[in-house]
Structure 1
C-alpha cells in the first residue's frame, strides 16, 4: 500500500500526454476516447490522496509528485483548448497558466532544497477545483460540437455566446492571483538567512 499513491500519481503523468495526443486528432472518435482517458487520470488524483491518508502512506516524494502530476494533467488539458477555439481560448492565456504553475513548482523545489516547507491558502485549492471543472466542461463541449447528437446544438450555441471565453479569462485571473499569493506568503524561502519552517499543504 505504501507505493500505490506514487504509482497512481505516476500513472497520471503517463496518461496526460496520451490524452493530449488523442484529443488534438481530427477524428471525433479519438477526442471522445480522450475524455475517458482524462476522466481516469482525474480519478487517480482522488484515490492516490485517499489511499495515502487512509494507510498513512504519505512520503516527501509523494507530497511533491502528487501536485506535479496534477499540473502536468492540467497543462495537457489547457493546451487542447486553442485547438477548439483559439479566439476564446488564446495561447497567451494558456501560457500564463503554465508559467504560474512552473513558477510555483520551482518554488517548491527551492523550498525542498533548503529544507523548508511551503505554506498555501484556500485560494490555491479553489483554483485547482475551478480549473478542473472548467477543463472538463470545455473539453466535453469540444467533443459535442464535432458530433451530431442532441447536445451538439446546445454546445454550439454555448460557444457562440462567448461565455466560455470569459470563463477562461476568469480562470487566468484566479490562477495568476493564486500564484502571486504563493510568492507573497512564501517570500521567506528566498531569504538565504531564513531557515524557519511553515505549515505545509502542497495542493
Structure 2
C-alpha cells in the first residue's frame, strides 16, 4: 500500500497523452473512450491522495510526481480544445493557463522539498474549480459535437454564440491573476528562502 500513491500518480501521468491522442480523433467511439480515460485518471488523483493520507506515506518521488501528473492531465484536457474549434478555444489563452500552472507547480514542488510552506489563497481554489468546471463542460461538448442531428446542431449553435470563447477568456484571466497574487502574497517567503540559499 505504501507504493500505491506513487503508482497511481505514474499511471495518471501516462494516461494524459493517451487521452489527448484519443480525443483529437474525429471519431465518436474514440472520443467517448477518451472521456472514460480522463475520468479514470481523475479518479486516480483522488485515490492517491486518500491512500497517502490514510497510510501517512510521502516520498520525494510522490512530492514531485503527484502535482506534476495532475497538471499534465489538466494540460492535456486544455490542449485538445483548440482542435475542436480554435476560434472558441484560442491557443494564446491555453498558453497562459499552461505557463501559469506549470510555473507555480514547479515553484511549489521546489519549496515543498525545501520544507518551505507557502501561503495559499481562496483565489487559487476558485481558479481550480473554474478551470475544471469549464474543462469538463467543454470536453463533453467536444464529444457531443460528433453526434449527427439535433445534438450536433445544438453544439454548433452554442459555439456560434461565442459562449465558450468568453468563458475561455475568463478562465485565462482568473488563472493569470491567481498566479500573480500567489507570487505577491509569498514574495517575502520566496525572497528570504533565496537569500538564505545563497548566503
Q: TM-score, structure 1 length as denominator?
A: 0.87
1:193 aligned partner: 195
SS in 1 for 2:195: coil
In structure 1, runs of 5+ residues without a counterpart are 196-203
1:90 aligned partner: 90
1:176 aligned partner: 176
1:201 aligned partner: none
SS in 2 for 1:86: coil
Classify 1:51/1:112 alpha carbon distance in 2 versus 1 (closer, same or farther; 3 Å): closer
Q: Deviations over 1:177-199 (max 9, x none)?
A: 1111221122232443347xxxx
Q: Within 1, Cα distance between the matches of 2:7 and 2:129?
A: 22
Deviates more, 1:118-127 or 1:144-153: 144-153
The alignment of Structure 1 onto Structure 2 pairs a total of residues equal to: 195
Deviates more, 1:146-155 or 1:162-171: 146-155
- Within-5 A mapping of 1:46-125: 46-112=46-112, 114-125=114-125
CA RMSD of aligned residues (A): 2.0
1:143 aligned partner: 143
Question: 1:60 offset after TM fit, Å?
Answer: 4.7
2:134 aligned partner: 134
Q: TM-score, structure 2 length as denominator?
A: 0.88
Q: Within 1, Cα distance between the matches of 2:47 and 2:156?
A: 34
Classify 1:58/1:19 alpha carbon distance in 2 versus 1 (closer, same or farther; 3 Å): same
Question: 1:107 offset after TM fit, Å?
Answer: 1.6
Q: Deviations over 1:5-39 (max 9, x none)?
A: 11111111000000001111132221121111111
Kindly report structure 1 stretches of 4+ aligned residues shifted beyond 4 Å.
112-115
Classify 1:194/1:122 alpha carbon distance in 2 versus 1 (closer, same or farther; 3 Å): farther
Q: Which has the higher helix share?
A: 2
Question: 1:170 offset after TM fit, Å?
Answer: 1.0
Q: Within 2, Cα distance between the matches of 1:54 and 1:109?
A: 22
Deviates more, 1:185-194 or 1:4-13: 185-194
